[in-house]
Amino acid sequence: MLPPAEYDLGHHGDVDAAPGLVDLAVNVRGGTPPGWLADRLRDSVGELARYPDPGPAQKAVERRHGRPAAEVLLTAGAAEAFVLLARALRPRRAVVVHPQFTEPEAALRAAGHPVDRVVLDGDFTLDPARVPADADLVVVGNPTNPTSVLHPAETLAALAAPGRILVVDEAFADCVPGEPESLAGRRDTPGVLVLRSLTKTWGLAGLRAGYVLGPAEIIERLRAAQPLWAVSTPALVATEACCTPAALAEADTWARELKVRREELATALSALGLHVVPHARASFLLVRIDEGERVRLALRDAGYAVRQGATFPGLSPDWVRIAVRDRDTLTAFVRTLAQLLMAPS
């Protein structure tokens, strides 16, 4: 295990996905944003002379998750929420469960908080007993980027405790039909903050839209740290639009198709003798490949970008993350990968 400084926490999949390559590195749903949403965003340009009014989007999120107003904070994506948390909270012992998205740890460190890591391995499932009892801030992803593992809601609930803030990053929650393990609507567990993002499912990485759900007193501290008008009018329009029953039904249909393609890809990669992290539930697979870095670079030369694993604490260059795309793209990708694996190194 490398010491903290040796993981490049600021590396993200968009760096791996150079222009011209078939992008299996970035986890945003292909073919997005959908036309109806792009139309809504274009229409919102007419409103830009006015300061943003968060009211309708705020109400839509409240309705969607069954939360009162005081338990919802709209943010400029999950990334802003991580920074607000790091700036507003004063943890005595912050623990980040890895491997996971690196920005929560980066934001905590940037705000001057030391961070302890709990590094999962094997099948990357979470045993709550691994988290130190005196941790008063714990960050976990569900489902987790890059492992694609979905932790049971009860496992996460077991991590919640009085005097502790448990941050559950649900940026990929809508990859799971019905979201059975989401804590977004759960108000009976103390200190749980749920972060949601519109980036992945709706293809809005460039817009910056998301929100935090949690106990009113913590939400109020985050709100006090947030700049005025942090969420733009187009982002508010998108947030409201993506909470409608029609949008939720569209996301659910996609999640069901995703499951089929993900299982096909996992089967094909396993047939090549590769280790695929089991029980994947998100829009990507984490795969271990001997000489993974050589294979990743050879894939690049062959026109494919996959996300390197080495920048995630707990992973080595032998790990790559592969986004689940449409069947034709994945069939061609697997064929290319098979040829590369057979080529002499």
Ligand X SMILES: Cc1ncc(COP(=O)(O)O)c(C=O)c1O
Which residue among 17, 60, 73, 79 contacts ligand X (CB under 6 A)? 79
Please select the residue that binds ligand X; options are 33, 34, 141, 191, rule is CB under 6 A: 141
> Where does this chain touch ligand X (CB under 6 A) — which range of 58-66, 72-80, 128-136, 327-335?
72-80
Nearer residue to ligand X within complex by CB, 171 or 237: 171
Binding mask 7-46 for ligand X (x = CB under 6 A): ----------------------------------------
169 belongs to the binding site for ligand X (CB under 6 A): yes
For ligand X, the binding residue among 33, 34, 128, 210 (CB under 6 A) is 210
Which backbone phi and psi does 311 adopt, to 5 degrees? -85, -5
Distance in angstroms (rounded) separating the CA atoms of residues 325 and 261: 7
CB 314 within 8 A of CB 126: no
Helix (H, G, I), strand (E, B) or coil at 296: helix
Answer for which of 197, 201, 226, 233 binds ligand X (CB under 6 A) is: 197
Six-digit token string for 31: 């073919």
Please return the burial class of 264, using the count of CB atoms within 10 Å of its CB with bins 0-12, 13-18 and 19+. Answer: middle
189 sits near ligand X (criterion: CB under 6 A):
no
Element at 172 (helix H, strand E): none
Nearer to ligand X, 23 or 337 (CB): 23
d(CA 327, CA 215): 42
Q: Does 145 engage in binding with ligand X (CB under 6 A)?
A: yes
Contact (CB, 8 A) for 289 and 304: no
For residue 321, how many other CB atoms are within 10 A of its CB?
A: 27
Check residue 85 for interaction with ligand X (CB under 6 A): no
> Does 199 participate in binding ligand X (rule CB under 6 A)?
yes
Count of residues that bind ligand X according to CB under 6 A:
12
Stretch that binds ligand X, among 52-60, 77-85, 159-167, 264-272 (CB under 6 A): 77-85
Q: Collapsing DSSP states into helix, strand and coil, what is residue 137?
A: strand
Distance between CA atoms of residues 223 and 4, nearest Å: 30
Can you give the binding site for ligand X, defined by CB under 6 A?
Answer: 77-79, 101, 141, 145, 169, 171, 197, 199, 205, 210
